[in-house]
């Protein structure tokens, strides 16, 4: 018996990176998965975003653990699409007990000719409004089920600090959105506490994913080494592995954290202590 046996987890941004890691980790503890991902490129994002084959690979890895996964291509910016994807998964898997609002982008670029307004808007739309759409889609079903649950929202070290701020659309939009989801979490935790539904945020520092480390980064590091010095961790760990975050998500989703709600949990190698 796993820690999440009999549970169903709804995970956004599930095609690769942290989302895939969360899906596989939770499935390994017995959860079935409802997963969504855009599987398309957003213009303001300069690194390659995941595609349908990436989402299919997540499904394959979950099924290799003898768990079920209902995967849908959906944009978290589209509230109706998120609701439809969740409804399909609930119909097939029998409910939803865990939400991992993970989908996110970072529009960092080494180019000088950047539409900072567009980059900012996209960051807010995906990283903040996408979380709103995700929780608002799942919460009514969780309340109706009357069996409690856990909602974990992916924030960032940038959701607790303004370090690295440079006035760009990428950094400002990302930081604003990641601070914003803390506000959502705190509001949602009050709303859902009477239903024994816990809501928390997890705050990684840099994570080794296609978003966290990609071909854009070396050029930015060369142009602005002081930025990466400012973003360094306290522990001598340059970058975290996705599974480090997944372990925290698993704990928050499990009964081991049954009385933990309304907290901002750093998993950051001491980034916030530095």
Catalytic residue set:
174
- Helix, strand and coil content of the chain, in percent to the nearest 5, comes to 50, 15, 40
CA dist list (Å): 169 to 4, 43, 173, 199, 243: 39, 14, 5, 28, 29
Give the full edge-to-edge strand order of the sheet including 197-204: 69-73, 32-37, 8-12, 98-101, 149-154, 197-204, 264-267
Q: Would you say 172 and 120 are in contact if contact means Cβ atoms under 8 Å apart?
A: yes
End-to-end CA distance of the chain: 40
């Amino acid at each position: 018996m796993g820690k999440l046996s009999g549970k169903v987890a709804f995970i956004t941004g599930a095609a690769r990176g942290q989302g895939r890691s969360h899906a596989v980790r939770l499935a390994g503890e017995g959860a079935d998965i409802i997963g969504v991902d855009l599987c398309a490129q957003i213009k303001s994002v300069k690194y390659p975003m995941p595609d349908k084959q990436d989402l299919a690979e997540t499904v394959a890895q979950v099924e290799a653990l003898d768990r079920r996964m209902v995967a849908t291509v959906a944009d978290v910016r589209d509230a109706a699409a998120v609701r439809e994807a969740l409804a399909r998964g609930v119909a097939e898997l029998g409910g939803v007990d865990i939400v991992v609002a993970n989908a996110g982008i970072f529009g960092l670029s080494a180019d000088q000719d950047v539409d900072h307004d567009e980059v900012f808007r996209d960051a807010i739309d995906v990283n903040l409004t996408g979380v709103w759409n995700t929780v608002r889609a799942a919460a009514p079903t969780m309340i109706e089920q009357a069996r409690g649950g856990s909602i974990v929202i992916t924030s960032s070290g940038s959701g607790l600090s303004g370090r690295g701020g440079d006035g760009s659309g990428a950094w400002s939009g990302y930081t604003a959105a990641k601070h914003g989801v803390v506000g959502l979490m705190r509001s949602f935790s009050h709303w859902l506490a009477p239903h024994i539904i816990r809501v928390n945020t997890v705050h990684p520092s840099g994570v080794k994913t296609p978003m966290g480390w990609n071909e854009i980064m070396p050029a930015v590091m060369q142009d602005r080494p002081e930025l990466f010095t400012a973003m360094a961790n306290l522990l001598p760990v340059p970058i975290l592995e996705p599974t480090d975050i997944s372990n925290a998500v698993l704990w928050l989703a499990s009964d081991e954290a049954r009385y933990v709600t309304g907290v901002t949990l750093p998993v950051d190698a001491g980034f916030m202590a530095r």
